[in-house]
Amino acid sequence: MQYGHFDDKNREYVITDWETPLPWINYLGSDDFFTLLSNTAGGYAFYKDARLRRITRYRYNNLPLDQDGFHIYIKDNKTVWNPGCRPCGTKLDSYECRHGMGYSVITGSRNRIEVSQEFYVPKNDNILLMRVTVKNKDKKDRNIDLFSFVEFCLWDAQDDTTNFQRNYSTGEVEVEGSVIYHKTEYRERRNHYAAFFANRKVDSFDTSRDAFMGVYGTPASPLAVSNGKCSDSIAHGWQPVGAHHIHLDLKAGETYDVIFGLAYVEVPERKKFIAPSVINKEPARKLIQKYDTNEKFDAGFKKLHSFWDRLLSRFEVSTSNDKVNRMVNIWNAYQCMVTFNMSRSASYYESGIGRGMGFRDSCQDLLGFVHMIPERARQRILDIAATQKEDGGAYHQYQPLTKKGNSDIGGGFNDDPLWLIACTDAYIRETGDWDILKEKVDFDNKPELADTLLEHLRRSFNYTLNNLGPHKLPLIGRADWNDCMNLNCFSKHPGESFQITGPSEGPVAESVFIAGMFVKYGKAYAQLLRHLEKNDEAKKADKAVKEMEKAVLKDGWDGSWFLRAYDAFGKKVGSHYNTEGQIFIEPQGMCVMAGIGTETGEAQKALDSVQERLETKYGIVLLNPAYTTYKLNLGEISSYPPGYKENAGIFCHNNPWIIFAETVMGHGDRAFELYKKTCPTFLEEISEIHRTEPYVYCQMVAGKDAPTFGEGKNSWLTGTAAWTFTVLTQGILGIQPDYNGLRIDPCIPKKVKEYTVNRLFRGTMYHIVIRNPHKAEKGVKELIVDGQHVDGNVIPLVSKKNVNVEVIM
Ligand code: GLC
Ligand code: GLC
């Protein structure tokens, strides 16, 4: 069942039934000011950090669901309704929500009154804009009361939901004309406030929640709205809110609009006040003036559109399959930008107060956006590298505000360092910016320890070699990519962290997955060295990689698939000897991507085993059979009920590794078949089962052992975005940035006859047409660049604006 449809021309998803299986959200903002916005105008806003600068309140886990947000109330005689249908739930004659690139438009109508809310956050300004348009489509004049409403958060979202004894006394506001200023704690150590404005004269306002809602009132029927007017309340403590009321006498056919805006404003310390306790409103006025007319609102909107046009035009594909086109050209790229901006901080599943930036997460996110904003990718690499420890290990997370490693969680997740090689390599292939390797970067954020980025990569590489276990396979430490594979922790007490409890970094437990990673990214590292003419060092790296390959084939091979690990007692995990957890997805994907066993048959056997034992109609489960009881020697992975999360859920993040592996083996049909299984645009028709947004990936889909098989959870903030974008554009469509040019190496279904790609690469726009007259799955027969035949499959670099490329498979 569908709840809407794609509008590719406008790059929108159009929701036509507001009762989606879960709130379907969008992200507004791409610089510092962000808003999460659902299809019924639920959501919240924050500046930079969703915990420390939360601007509006949001109650997760609440009932009714998703009721905090940016709602507009329409009072039409005795009936009260919202264009987004909630919180009132009043039945409307029409409803539509269009989620687009950095904006959303919600339109509802009832009894010949149509109201729309157009939301966006303009480029480079800290403000959420919302234009409300009311159309009287009636043949007679109508009287309407219009109300806006937001509830302010007292800045620190964590403190806001716990420290009531203090917070009920601190709330403060000021009101001037149509602008409501939220200034809690400004009197002391804060130099920022929020301003909620309307560009029209209002008839009344409220800033006290009790006054607007009624002490026992509900968002579904606020007291002020029932009364038809606000009471001009001024909040003293309790819950400061912002509500405007405008009475409208609309002639038949008349249209009225008003622009609301929610701004975040910082004021220099010495200019905070203009009189005792009176805040300096000048910076707010300046910002408001930038958007207080329709012309200005439209101009900002246009700028936002051109920003996205530019970003998305860097990679455009045209195939005969719309579902593929809209993933590459619109939604998957969009999700990559969102994961880059948000990391894992704020979604409808990540509360914004939990984790910082993950070392491995951010390195992988980069793979999906490096072609869009290489400059920001560069900065991100340097920021991440600066948190690396002296011995090459990594802090598992760092804080975006301070950019410092988080010592509560610490390090010892032994896959982390290798991801730094992965993202740096991707960045250099994209940009050719070899100089980044010469940048001096701190270790452990200590300038006195700074060394070149190349030295950081060297230590990443050596970190694995310095931490080998009894089978010469890498020690796993607290966990590898699978955060829940906790072989050294033995956590017994509820509430303890699974990862950092107990011995944590034992000398025995080994990971075959990290071994695969070491081979894959060790090869990339050796290539970088060779390019820098450090040939001896490159040879040494090659040798270490070869030895690791041998160790994998000797002690990391189980007969029909790659083993997952050895536990702290040296016992096998992910082996046919086990009764549960016999086979895992991660080492099959990573080892084959690394090229292990591709010539000697193990790779193919491993992929056959994946198909036989892990594949389901909704994708590949993480392991099989699922663990049915908690196992001290395995940790969090066995804590989940069978079929959920890492315990045999379909983890969308590593499905693309298997797809990539299939392309390594040249299986285009198979790769695409697997691609479709987790791809949201292919799941649109089963939205009632899948439940999450059909335009973005979620982290996890319940596996076959779960009673809710096929149900998605944790949408938006997942490494899946970057990996699926990469596997589709590079693995399947075969457009691969390489050091000396674009490599063209498609691996496609036999029946694909032709497709075209426009790819901006190092300043040149390549117009590529790929033809497949012989029904091949892989292999380029001929490459013609601007009419000239070129040997091999790499388009040499040129200094031209446009290049035409023809590829025959
Ligand atoms: C989550 C984490 C990621 C981890 C994955 C598997 O998505 O953010 O770091 O690799 O789970 O446990
Ligand atoms: C939990 C989750 C896992 C995530 C981790 C992040 O272990 O199950 O998916 O990676 O938390 O800390």
Tens-place pLDDT, residues 19-52: 999 999 999 999 999 999 999 999 999 999 999 9
- The CA–CA distances, whole Å, from 298 to 72, 129, 335, 746, 800 equal 21, 11, 25, 42, 35
Instruction: Say yes or no: CB of residue 713 within 6 Å of ligand 2.
Output: no
C-alpha 188, offset from chain centre: 35
Dist. CA 334–CA 9, nearest whole Å: 15
Does the CB atom of residue 195 touch ligand 2 within 6 A?
A: no
Band of the pLDDT at 91, cuts 50, 70, 90?
A: very high
355, 413, 414, 483: which to mutate for ligand 1, most atoms within 8 A of CB? 483
Cβ(598)–Cβ(661) under 8 Å?
Answer: no
Kindly provide the b/e burial profile for residues 260-284, where b requires at least 16 CB atoms within 10 angstroms of the residue's own CB: bbbbbbebeeeebeeeeeebbbebb
Summarised one tens digit per residue, pLDDT across range 154-178 is 999 999 999 999 999 999 999 999 9
Ligand nearest to the CA of 343: 1
Which secondary structure element, helix H or strand E, spans residue 794, and what is its range? strand 794-796
How far is residue 336 from each of residues 22, 103, 220, 350, 367, measured CA to CA in Å? 22, 16, 36, 17, 9
Q: What is the predicted pLDDT for the residue at 55?
A: 98
Position 644: which residue type? Y
Distance 475 CA to ligand 2 centre (A): 20
Sorting pLDDT into bands at 50, 70 and 90, what band is 355?
confident
Q: Is the pLDDT of residue 402 over 90?
A: no
Region label for 133, one of left (φ > 0), alpha (ψ between -120 and 50) or beta (otherwise): beta
Partner residues linked to 805 by β-bridges: 768, 785
Which backbone phi and psi does 449 adopt, to 5 degrees? -100, 5
pLDDT in tens, 553-608: 999 999 999 999 999 999 999 999 999 999 999 999 999 999 999 999 999 999 99
Residue 603: the pLDDT is 98
Please identify, by atom number, the ligand 1 atom nearest to the C-alpha of residue 344: 8
Structure tokens at 801: 């604006």
Q: How far away, in angstroms, is 475 Cα from ligand 1 center? A: 19
Across the range 502-522, mean pLDDT stands at: 95
Asked if pLDDT for residue 503 goes beyond 90, the answer is no
Q: Which of 4, 117, 18 is nearest to 65 (CA)?
A: 18
Name the amino acid, one letter, at 348.
Answer: Y
What DSSP letter does each residue of 177-225 carry, written as one string? TTEEEE-TTTTTT--EEEEEEESS--SEEEEEHHHHH-TT--TTS-HHH
Cα 636 to ligand 2 centre (Å): 9
* pLDDT confidence tier of residue 280, bands split at 50, 70 and 90: very high
β-sheet bridge partners, residue 71: 149
Q: Which ligand is nearest to the CA of 622?
A: 1
How far apart are the C-alpha atoms of 485 and 637, rounded to whole Å?
6
C-beta neighbour count of 375 within 10 angstroms: 9
* Res. 493: pLDDT tops 80: yes
In eight-state DSSP terms, residue 627 is P
Indicate which atom in ligand 1 lies nearest the CA of residue 718: 7
- Centroid of ligand 2 to alpha carbon of 98 (angstroms): 32
Q: What is the atom index within ligand 1 of the atom nearest the CA of 481?
A: 10
**Shortest CA distance to 340 belongs to which of 380, 383, 399?**
380
User: Across the chain, how many H-helices and E-strands are there?
Assistant: 21, 44
The predicted model gives 202-216 an average pLDDT of 98
Q: Whose CA is nearest to atom 3 of ligand 2?
A: 483
Q: Which of 434, 474, 438, 435 is nearest to 455 (CA)?
A: 438
Q: Whose Cα sits closest to atom 6 in ligand 1?
A: 482
The total number of residues written for the chain in this structure: 809
Q: Is the pLDDT of residue 218 over 90?
A: yes
491: helix, strand or coil: coil
Q: Please tell me the predicted confidence (pLDDT) of residue 354.
A: 81
Mutate to test the pocket of ligand 2, among 415, 483, 647 (most ligand atoms within 8 A of CB): 483
Question: Which one-letter DSSP state was computed for residue 69?
Answer: B
How remote is the C-alpha of 613 from its chain's centroid? Answer: 30
Tokens of residue 351, six digits: 């509360």
CB atoms within 10 A of CB 790: 16
- What is the pairing mode between strands 802-808 and 782-785? antiparallel
Q: Is 358 helix (H, G, I), strand (E, B) or coil?
A: strand
Q: Supply the pLDDT for residue 415.
A: 98
Q: What is the DSSP letter of 320?
A: S
Percentage of the chain lying above the pLDDT 90 cut? 97
Q: What gap in Å lies between CA 704 and CA 618, rounded to an integer?
A: 9
Do 199 and 258 touch, CB atoms closer than 8 A?
A: yes
Q: What is the pLDDT of residues 291-322, one digit of tens each?
A: 999 999 999 999 999 999 999 999 999 999 99
Asked if residue 510 has its Cβ within 6 Å of ligand 2, the reply is no
**Residues facing 193 on adjacent strands:** 265
Dihedral (Cα; 475, 481, 485, 486), 10-degree rounding: 60
Among the residues of 579-706, which ranges form H helices? 585-593, 602-613, 655-664, 668-678, 680-683, 687-690
Whether 646 is in the pocket of ligand 1, judged by its Cβ within 6 Å, is yes
480 lines ligand 2 (CB under 6 A): no
User: Do the Cβ atoms of 624 and 609 come closer than 8 Å?
Assistant: no
Opening angle at CA 26, ends 181 and 76, nearest 5: 60
CA of 714 to the centre of ligand 2 (A): 11
Instruction: Give the model confidence (pLDDT) of 729-788 as tens digits.
Output: 999 999 999 999 999 999 999 999 999 999 999 999 999 999 999 999 999 999 999 999
Return the structure tokens found at 104: 């959303």
The C-alpha atoms of residue 681 and residue 676 are separated, in whole angstroms, by 8
Residue 483 CB less than 6 A away from ligand 2: yes
Q: Percent of the chain at pLDDT above 70?
A: 100
Alpha carbon of 97 to ligand 2 centroid (Å): 32
Nearest CA to ligand 2 atom 4: 483
**What confidence score (pLDDT) does residue 216 get?**
96
- Position 401 pLDDT exceeds 80: no
Listed residue (119, 105, 111) closest to 135, CA to CA: 111
Predicted pLDDT of residue 738: 97
Angle, alpha carbons 547-552-557 (nearest 5°) = 155
Distance CA 794, CA 809 (A): 14
Distance in angstroms (rounded) separating the CA atoms of residues 234 and 230: 11
pLDDT in tens, 403-457: 899 888 899 999 999 999 999 999 999 999 999 999 999 999 999 999 999 999 9
Average pLDDT of the chain to the nearest whole number: 97
Q: Is a pLDDT exceeding 80 seen at residue 512?
A: yes
Q: How far apart are the first and last CA of the chain?
A: 38
d(CA 723, CA 658): 11
Q: Which of 419, 475, 483 lies closest to 646 in space, CA to CA?
A: 483
Tokens found for residue 40: 């019924």
Positive or negative CA dihedral for 28, 52, 66, 703? positive
